[in-house]
Structure formats: structure tokens, C-alpha cells
Structure 1
């Protein structure tokens, strides 16, 4: 980071340090005092840049000795819980693909596009509850909301084992979408409140890698269930086993999380006090912010929100389509249904490794857009290989290339947007819109991979390719918009520094203030 960037961010940290004089937490609903004063003089640059562990008000900076200690504890106790929650969510969300090749479609007498409709309706309720999750986290608190969602979708998955017909399958898929839809946004918001912006992507990498691994374990579980010689069918055992696993983890969220981060059981008194002070120096949230329609409107009117949302739609069209239909696509290459379950495992395992590496580099270099564009290009290359070749070995290789990018671009898109918004409810609204569009692509993906298109699925893969290219274009536009805004802010800061006057700041504007630097 350049000296100028460090100075500008230093001003921002100091101003947020002034914003609250109470002990606050992002999950509390108590009022915090308003900003005591605006930035007084330009001399604050030197005060903050020369500080090592605290600013001039005694607020801890990221180099404080306790920072590393509390990060280790959060990484040890919170990240595994978030990763497991996302793992279980994706396991129960995508298991219909494994169940389909294990006999679900035949036993329920699904004909025509009925299987595709069953896949699609899930996203009908999923997208409606995406925006709800970002706000319910603050209202209900992490322990209540996350354990309730986990228990609910676990029970629903378990009950799916006993559906008898198409209508019952549609019903459980609709219910599953309600509780699954709130998981991803709540995890995203939770991590954005616990970690600083430059600590965010690496931690989310652990969580999002769980989605890749869940697909791998889904294949292993399905393979094991196919070997059970019981009174039920293999697809029924898939739902029973995976639903029971989800329910079994509920106590970890009831007792392992706290409504207020500083009250978490694994922190001592010194660390709890540090966390309270730490919130005041973080630019990812305004502690104890109350809901205001003005903040929601700031997100709605921001063109960057919509550009990001369109990009995510194109990205997730491939992600959702491949997550559900990948086992079926591999089966069309001539492999047995049992072997197909195993052949999905190494694909997603490689995807998890690639995503983790990209996330760490993204945090280290403080860059987002190059990783989104690069992964979209990788996905495009993989799709072209699968489309162009009729040799099964080559097509299977193309699937590896394709899948290496589908999680990197989706996760980084959301991280980029949420990390560039400071106020809680503006971020919640923008992320809700973003995820609404992204999840909405699931309504399309379920209708473009049709049985009549087997074995090559030219229509579905071609549509995915076109939307990946659209996502590249929208990501470039988003980058240019952020760069333009940063240049405007630099000019404003330079102007007031030349005049030796305070730099204007309005806490209601959050990231739109000149002191906030957008990441690229």
C-alpha cells in the first residue's frame, strides 16, 4: 500500500474511533453516542501513521499485540463453526443431484421436466430469504438464528427420505429454500463484523472451501449409501444420513456462539475489553447501528450494487447449475451411477485448494477484481473444453478446469461488495440485493440442463459461457467505478489539506465519505 493510501485510511480509522464512546458490539441494539467532532486538522495524518498499536485516542490498531491473540482464538473457535454450517448447508442443498442418480427420479416417477422444476423451486424461496438473513442476524443474534436454521433444514432433509410423489418433493424443496437462503448472507455478515477488511477473505476462504468439500463428501456419502443393503433405497439413506448429521451439530451453535462477540466464552477479560475497543477502530461496521431507511436507500441508489448483482447472476448461473447437475453430466460420459459419486470427489477437492490459495493472495495483495476476472476466464476455458470435445476423457478434464473457478468468482464477488461498504444496514441491503440476483440464477440453471439435451448439454453450457463473459464485463465496469470514486476522494482530501481545513465527514454516508478507500 502506498504512503498516501495509508494516510487516507489512517484518517478513516481515527474518525470511527471518535464515533462511539460506549461499550458496543455489532450484534447489540444499544445506542452509541454520535460522532463527537469532525476531523480537526490535517495533523492527524502524522499522529496515526506514526502510531504502532493505538491511535491518539487509545483505540487499538491492527498491529496491537492483542490483535494476533484474538484472531487466533476466533480462527480456532468461530471459523470452524461457520465452515461447518456452510458445509452442512451445501450438503443438504445439493444432495438432490446425488439422489437423482441413486434412484430418486425413478422411484417418484418423475417425467419430463419435473426433476428440473424440483431443482428450480428451491431457489424460489431461497432468493426471497437471502435478504432476510442479513437483517435477522442482528435481530435474533447469531446463536438463535444459526441454530434454528441448521435444525430446520436438517429436519427437512431428513423428512425428504419419505416423500412419495412429485408434489411432496416440491413442498420439501420449497421449505428447504426458506432456511437455506438465510445461511450464506448471515455467515457473510457475521465475518464482516468480526474481522477487519484485510483479514476477511482469508477467513472466508476456510468457510467457502467447505462448500467445495461438501460436494466431495456428498459424493462419498452417496457412494456409501449405495452400498447399504437395507429396507430403504439408496437415495433415501442419502437424505437420512445427511439430515441427521445436520441436526447433530445444532448444540455446537447454541452453546458455541454468543450474541455479542466480546462475550464469547473463549475470551478472557483483557481480550473482551480489547474487542470492545477494537470495534471502534474497524471500518467494516458502525457498532450498534440502528436501522434507518436512509441506509437501505443508499444501497439501492448505488450503481455499484446493481453492477455487482448482475455479475453475480452470471457467475452463479454456472455455480448452481454445476453443483446440482455435475453428477448427471459425468454420468452421461458413460460411467456407472456408483462410480459417478466417487468421480465428483477429486473435482471439488481441487476446487477447494484453488479457492483457498486465491483467497489468501487476495487478502495479501488487497485485490478482488483480478481474482474474479481470472476465475471467470478459467471457467470459460473449462466450458469450452467440455462443449468442444466428444472424447469423455477430455470432457472430464474440462470439468476440472471449469470447477476451479466457479467458487472463487462467486465468493470474491460478495467479499468485494460487502468489504467496500461500512454501514451495517447499507451493507445488509446491498448484499441482500446481490444475493437475490445471484440466487435468482438458480431459477434459470434448473431449466437449462434438460434430459433432452443429454449427453452434451450444449444449450445449458453455452448459456453459462455467455453469462460468464457478461460477468467479466460487469466486473471490469465495477472496478472502473470504484477507481473513479477513489480518485474523486483523493481530490477532495487534497483540496482540504491545501486549505488546512477539516475534511468533511458524515457518519450517515459511511463509505461514501472521502476518507473511505475502496478496494479493487
Structure 2
């Protein structure tokens, strides 16, 4: 298999094709992709997020006490996962595209991290937990980047935000589900295992079932799902419309180096800042509610549930707006601005009730920030190899935040440093999004001038992919 995805960076004039497109039939095919593909993404990313972020629930359920773990050691085990998670993001995507069938590669990853999660019940020390977290990071490392690249095989840019919202919403539901399970497990007073180990056992078994499901039934390409002659014709037409801007899909050093531009650099800044918020908030939310806001052990578990449900619902609405308006930057800026208000409240007020309300404001960017920024980059990058490399680098370097955020959330019970650091990152992110949106507008202006004048004086541009004058960037 080659490192290839089939996505068009622009809309296509229907009248320019040899035959008119059957819009209704194409929408029906897209919905078929949704029914057959999105459930796999949602379920698998649900368990990916659950198995990474349940560490906070486990601490509240008694893990830190049973393992004689200090707050600093807990921060370390939250961070260390990313020592193996980050390095495998880029090579994992390359390996899948070059050598592996998606169903087997994704399914094997899920099964592997599920087994590690289950075997966490044998952990009896801080050192052993470090090893477990490193293995989880190793097994999950390239999963999100592979999933993101696979999605571009099926959908056009203006179709991506809504679909990515589905699996990020699944991630938010994993927080709610984790909170519900942890609430029940916290009440367990008997059994051969400590209560927090039941958390890992139950979630690991569920993840294992999901991994087997993906391994057997996940579709390897859009063409596997196109069965009828009408579907094949429509998919061939979609491929043709996409192929205009694909260029050579084989490994290319020039395309690899072309990925390292200012757009990727700004995107990485945005991703890092948003990941600081996502990882800090999702990992420490149960602990913040218990230690920082004064709720008891049981309340700290179940009060996380409505927060995550709201975060998922907001992302669905915001992603739909983004797709309909064909705008990314303004939606990102709005969500980030509301979250900034939330962190200011966390730092400025003393009332636990008001602080709890502030957690709901943070939901406006919790999943939107990382998800929509990733889709923004994917929508505005072509051809295929450059896109895959850009997505992987963006996620890899952005996920450095996963190692950083636990280190700033050390000052229990108020976590002033963690909240202040996150607030600063979101402010930086706000300016970075504005810069990115302005830059894309300038590129669109340049492309329009070239099309109108017929003169292209650029000497270093590749003149294809996202450098083609017909390419229209989503701002």
C-alpha cells in the first residue's frame, strides 16, 4: 500500500465534469461512509481516551494511597505516557500507509493497549505503574494520527469537521463514562482487588472487545464500501475530483520538506496550547473537584459526568457551524475566548459553586480546540504525503503538552500554577489562531490574483497541491 489519501482541497464546479453529479446519490454514499466508518472511530477513540485519562479517576478511587504515591509522583506517571506516545505518531502513520492494512493495524493497537490496561491490576508499586504508562503510550502512539489520515480518504475538507466532531464527542463521553464507572467502583467495599483496580479491569475488557471488532470489521478503503454500480461511479467521480490536487502520492523528500512551513509551525503552537488545556483538565478534573473545590470522593467522580457531556455537545454544534460557514478560525477564537473566562474565574474566585460553573465554560474549547485545529490543517494541506506528514507532526509536537501539563498541576489543592499556565497558553493560542486565519486569507488573495492575471511569478512554489492557484484555503 502507498502513503495515499484522496481528498480535494476545493469545491468542484459540477458543470465542469463530463457528466452531472447526482447530488442526492452522493450524499447517500457519504452517509453510508458515516454509518460504516464513524462508529469504529467513535468507539475506538472512546476507549483510547478512557484508557489514557482514567488515571485521575483511579487516584480519587484510592490508587495513590494504595501505592504510597506522592502528588509529584502522580504527576510523573501522568506525564511519562507521552515519552513513548509522541515518538511513534509520525512513523506509525508511515508504516500503516506503506505496509499494513488499516483494520489489522488499528485493531492490533487497540488489543495491545487493552491487555496492558487489564494487566494494570497486578501493579503494586510506583515503578510498575511507570512501566504500564510507558506501554500504554507505546501502544496508542500513532492511533489518533492514523485515524485522522484515514478520514481524509473518505471525506472532502468541508465534510471533515462534523465527522471529527463525532469521535471527539466520543472522547468526551469517555470522560463521562469513566466518571460513572468510577462512581460505582468507589462504592465497592469488598472484593479481592482494590477498588481502583476494578476500574482498569472493567475498562480494559471493554476495550479488548472493541479491538477485536475493529480487527475483523473495519473497512480498509472507501472502495470496499462501494458495492453497487452507482456507488462505484460516484466514488470514481469523487476520486477524480480529488486527484486533480493530489500530485504524486509516493514518498517524496521535496513534499516532506515542504510540510515544514509557517502554517505547520503556527498549527503546532495552537495544538500545544489547546492540548495543555485538554490534558490538564481531563486528567486532573476529578482531583480538582475533590482537592480544589472541596467535594467528597463520590461527588468528585459523578460531578465530572455533566461537564463532559456538555463538552461533547458543544463540539458537535461548533463543528456543524464551522462546516456550514466553511470557517475554522472564528469558531476556534470564540471557543477559546469563553474558556479563557473560565480559567480567570478559577483563579479569581473562592466559591466552589462558581468554580464548578467555570468548568462548564472551559468546555467551549476542551475538545474543539485540538480537534478543529487538526482538521483545519488537514483541510488546507495537499498533496497526500505532505498532508499525512503535517498531521502527524502537528499531533506529535502538540502532544508534548501531555507531558508538560501534569508537571504544572502539582500545587494541590488549588492548582494555581496549572490554571495560570493553561490560561497563558490559551491567550497565546488566541493570537496564533488569528495569525493563522490571516495567513490563509493572504494565500487566498494571492491565488485569486494569479488566476485573474494569468501570471504566476512565484519561483519556489511547487505549483501543485496547496500551491496550485485554484486551491482555496479554509480560513
2:136 pairs, out of 161, 165, 176, with: 176
2:450 pairs, out of 492, 497, 503, with: 492
Deviation at 1:202, TM superposition (A): 0.9
Contact 2:172 2:308 in 1 (8 A): yes
Deviation at 1:278, TM superposition (A): 1.7
Deviation at 1:492, TM superposition (A): 0.8
Deviation at 1:330, TM superposition (A): 0.3
Structure 1 residue runs of 5 or longer lacking an equivalent are 1-26, 33-44
Query: Is 1:513 the equivalent of 2:474?
Result: no
1:346 pairs, out of 306, 318, 340, with: 306
Query: Is 1:457 the equivalent of 2:415?
Result: yes
Deviation at 1:251, TM superposition (A): 2.8
Deviation at 1:507, TM superposition (A): 7.7
Contact 1:284 1:422 in 2 (8 A): no
Q: What SS does the aligned partner of 1:289 have? A: coil
Query: Is 1:167 the equivalent of 2:161?
Result: no
CA distance in 2, matches of 1:309, 1:179: 23
CA distance in 1, matches of 2:474, 2:244: 13
Structure 2 residue runs of 5 or longer lacking an equivalent are none
Corresponding residue of 2:64: 105
Corresponding residue of 1:192: 152
Query: Is 1:233 the equivalent of 2:194?
Result: yes
Q: What SS does the aligned partner of 2:122 have? A: coil
Deviation at 1:204, TM superposition (A): 1.2
Corresponding residue of 2:297: 337
Residue-by-residue CA offset, 1:455-482 (whole Å, 9 max, x unaligned): 2211110010011000111111111111
1:84 pairs, out of 43, 46, 61, with: 43
Q: Which one is further off, 108-117 or 363-372?
A: 108-117
Corresponding residue of 1:419: 379
Residue-by-residue CA offset, 1:260-318 (whole Å, 9 max, x unaligned): 32123x73343134323321212797388111111110001x11100110121111111
CA distance in 1, matches of 2:396, 2:39: 26
CA distance in 2, matches of 1:217, 1:282: 39
- Distance change (3 Å), C-alpha of 1:220 and 1:365: same
CA distance in 1, matches of 2:452, 2:233: 36
Corresponding residue of 1:243: 204
Deviation at 1:508, TM superposition (A): 7.2
Q: Which one is further off, 246-255 or 468-477?
A: 246-255
Residue-by-residue CA offset, 1:385-408 (whole Å, 9 max, x unaligned): 111111111111111111232111
Corresponding residue of 1:153: 113
Contact 1:28 1:260 in 2 (8 A): no
Contact 1:197 1:284 in 2 (8 A): no
Contact 1:83 1:208 in 2 (8 A): yes
1:431 pairs, out of 378, 388, 391, with: 391
- Distance change (3 Å), C-alpha of 1:293 and 1:358: same
Deviation at 1:454, TM superposition (A): 2.2
Deviation at 1:372, TM superposition (A): 1.1
Contact 2:264 2:394 in 1 (8 A): yes
In angstroms, what is the RMSD of aligned CA positions? Answer: 2.5
Corresponding residue of 1:282: 242
Larger radius of gyration: 1
CA distance in 1, matches of 2:270, 2:244: 23
Residue-by-residue CA offset, 1:182-216 (whole Å, 9 max, x unaligned): 12111111111210111111111111111111100
- Paired residues in the alignment total 467
CA distance in 1, matches of 2:159, 2:165: 11
CA distance in 1, matches of 2:287, 2:243: 45
- Distance change (3 Å), C-alpha of 1:205 and 1:211: same
Deviation at 1:95, TM superposition (A): 0.6
Residue-by-residue CA offset, 1:328-381 (whole Å, 9 max, x unaligned): 000022222122111000000011111100000100000000111111111111
CA distance in 1, matches of 2:3, 2:337: 44
Deviation at 1:57, TM superposition (A): 3.8
Query: Is 1:309 the equivalent of 2:309?
Result: no
2:232 pairs, out of 272, 275, 280, with: 272
Q: What SS does the aligned partner of 1:121 have? A: helix
Deviation at 1:436, TM superposition (A): 1.8
Q: What SS does the aligned partner of 2:436 have? A: helix
Deviation at 1:227, TM superposition (A): 3.1
- Distance change (3 Å), C-alpha of 1:309 and 1:249: same
CA distance in 2, matches of 1:419, 1:312: 15
CA distance in 2, matches of 1:345, 1:50: 46
Residue-by-residue CA offset, 1:477-514 (whole Å, 9 max, x unaligned): 11111111111111111111xx8x9x99x987311111
Q: What SS does the aligned partner of 1:478 have? A: helix
- Distance change (3 Å), C-alpha of 1:251 and 1:443: closer
Residue-by-residue CA offset, 1:68-122 (whole Å, 9 max, x unaligned): 1211211111111111111110010101110011111111111251111101101
CA distance in 2, matches of 1:138, 1:508: 25
CA distance in 1, matches of 2:214, 2:233: 24
CA distance in 2, matches of 1:404, 1:181: 26
Deviation at 1:56, TM superposition (A): 3.3
